[in-house]
Amino acid sequence: SDIEKGTYPHYMLKEIDEQPSVVRKIIQAYENEQGELAIDPAIAEALHEADRLYIIAAGTSYHAGLVGKEYFEKIARIPVEVHISSEFGYNMPLLSEKPLFIFITQSGETADSRQVLVKIKELGYPTLTITNVPGSTLSREADYTMLLHAGPEIAVASTKAYVAQVAVLAIAAYVEAKSQRIEVNFDLKKELAIVANAIQSIVDSKEVFEIASKDYLSTTRNAFFIGRNIDYCVSVEGALKLKEISYIQAEGFAGGELKHGTIALIEEGTPVIALVTQKSVSLNIRGNVKEVTARGANPCIISMEGMEQDGDAIVLPQVHPLLTPLMSVVPLQLISYYAALYRGCDVDKPRNLAKSVTVE
Ligand code: AGP
């Protein structure tokens, strides 16, 4: 069944492997009879009515929200703010006239997010929950729900739910853009199918990531993840994954921000994992890699076909530039997994953490 480990040593590895099929399942789940991507008309209407979206989430779901902002703004041209739920509760920004609140939560039970939902309902604003668990608290209490169709996620470290969240956000933005007759110059269904194949090829070559993990992370005290643009959104997720399961101190940074402080932390051998999937900023991020390398860092460049260079540690298959987060997160999940293994950590149940945080 879905919640058996089968031959897998850990749920996390099983759930990483399920990601290609999760993407395919989502394509099917959000297809109408004509085979076109579609969402519940009531949700389409709510998106259409809104003058601004407020995405509220915690942890990995917040990181998916950062990518979601890119989608709604770039594809559907709706302004978006992304907020950490525990902060939003007591520090509410000035709201627009017609906000739509979108709660992203794998479990649908996160107390920090729920307290925001309760407040927003009191204020009378429309709410949408994007969750993996039908019938969960945040699903029941919101006006609308979009499901992730990722199947049960057991490992504390979220993997397939993140990929599902990003895919569902892309679909929502795309369908909304189409319904507004905003020109979209790609076929999302086709591009998501390409992503599913790309993820498949990554999970089929685990040795590559096992070796990279050993090379870069087996003995280090700390690690940095850098990226620009949408790669930055993924770098913070990569850092969280590594922290929570391997206990290595890790941070994700926007490449250009290094020189404003963080670069002081770079020492001989400090691993710096750089994502290079965005052509528009690839020269800039490669420049940042040179800066840290000159100060002794051990750079691990993860690039994409079409913009690879000699010396890149990993070259990922080519996917649509907006959809790279769905794919580029997977090597980060895998290197975190192997780092946790080498260090003898409890991969599926890291210390001090619960799968869903039901206290504020
Ligand atoms: C992710 O690996 C974490 N374990 C954690 O950050 C999680 O994403 C967060 O607690 C939010 O949970 P939710 O999606 O169930 O609301």
**How many other C-beta atoms can be found within 10 angstroms of the C-beta atom of residue 89?**
18
Q: What span, in angstroms and rounded, lies between the C-alpha atoms of 144 and 268?
A: 51
Look over the chain and give the mean of its residue pLDDT values, rounded to a whole number.
Answer: 96
Q: What is the value of ipTM here, to two decimals?
A: 0.98
Q: What is the pLDDT, as a whole number, of residue 354?
A: 83
pLDDT in tens, 271-297: 999 999 999 999 999 999 999 999 999
Distance from residue 294's CA to the centre of ligand 1 (Å): 36
What gap in Å lies between CA 124 and CA 126, rounded to an integer?
A: 7
Handedness of CA 182, 187, 189, 195 (dihedral sign): negative
DSSP string, 35-50: S-B---HHHHHHHHH-
**Which atom of ligand 1 is nearest to 240's Cα?**
2
Q: Which atom of ligand 1 is nearest to the CA of 355?
A: 4
Task: Say how far apart CA 355 and CA 60 lie, in whole Å.
Answer: 12
pLDDT at residue 1, rounded to an integer = 52
The number of the ligand 1 atom at minimal distance from the alpha carbon of 131 is: 14
> How confident is residue 359, by pLDDT bands cut at 50, 70 and 90?
confident
Question: C-alpha angle with apex 120: 118 to 123, nearest 5 degrees?
Answer: 115
C-alpha 267 to ligand 1 mean position (Å): 31
pLDDT at 21: 98
In the set 119, 121, 189, 355, the catalytic residue is 355
Whether 259 is a known active-site residue: answer no
3 state DSSP class of 225: strand
Tens-place pLDDT, residues 5-63: 889 999 999 999 999 999 999 999 999 999 999 999 999 999 999 999 999 999 999 99
Compute the distance from residue 161 Cα to the ligand 1 centre, in Å.
9
Cα distance between residue 150 and residue 354, in whole Å: 19
pLDDT of residue 356: 82
Q: Whose CA is nearest to atom 7 of ligand 1?
A: 59
Task: Provide mean pLDDT across the span 224-249.
Answer: 97
Residues with CB under 6 A from ligand 1: 58-61, 105-107, 110, 113, 156-158, 244, 356-357
What's the pLDDT at 350? 87
Could you give the 3-state DSSP secondary structure of residue 123? helix
Question: Which pLDDT belongs to residue 141?
Answer: 98
The model's pLDDT over 295-348, given as tens digits with 9 standing for 90+, comes to: 999 999 999 999 999 999 999 999 999 999 999 999 999 999 999 999 999 889
End-to-end, the C-alpha distance of the chain in Å comes to 33
Which of 11, 56, 61, 355 for a ligand 1 pocket mutation test, highest count of atoms within 8 Å of Cβ? 61
Residue nearest to atom 9 of ligand 1 (CA): 59
Instruction: Report the pLDDT value the prediction gives residue 355, as an integer from 0 to 100.
Output: 86
Going by pLDDT thresholds of 50, 70 and 90, the confidence category of residue 244 is very high
User: Relative to the CA of 57, which ligand 1 atom is closest?
Assistant: 16
Instruction: Report the share of the chain in percent with pLDDT over 90.
Output: 92
Best mutation site among 348, 356, 359, 360 for ligand 1, i.e. most ligand atoms within 8 A of its Cβ? 356
Kindly give the distance from the C-alpha atom of residue 348 to the centroid of ligand 1, in angstroms, as a whole number. Answer: 13
What pLDDT band is residue 210 in, cutting at 50, 70 and 90? very high
Does 2 score more than 70 pLDDT?
Answer: no
pLDDT band at 3 (very low <50, low <70, confident <90, very high): confident
> Rounded to whole angstroms, what are the CA distances from 70 to 64, 238, 293, 323?
10, 18, 30, 10
Q: How far is the CA of 58 from the centre of ligand 1 (A)?
A: 6
> Beta strand 99-105 with 314-316: parallel, antiparallel or unpaired?
unpaired
Q: What does the pLDDT read at residue 45?
A: 96
Is-contact 58 87, C-beta < 8 A? no
Q: Which residue's CA is minimally distant from atom 4 of ligand 1?
A: 157
- Measured in angstroms, how far is the CA atom of residue 354 from the centroid of ligand 1? 9
Amino acid at 164: A
What does the alpha-carbon distance between residue 88 and residue 83 come to, in Å, rounded to a whole number? 6
In this prediction, residue 351 carries a pLDDT of 85
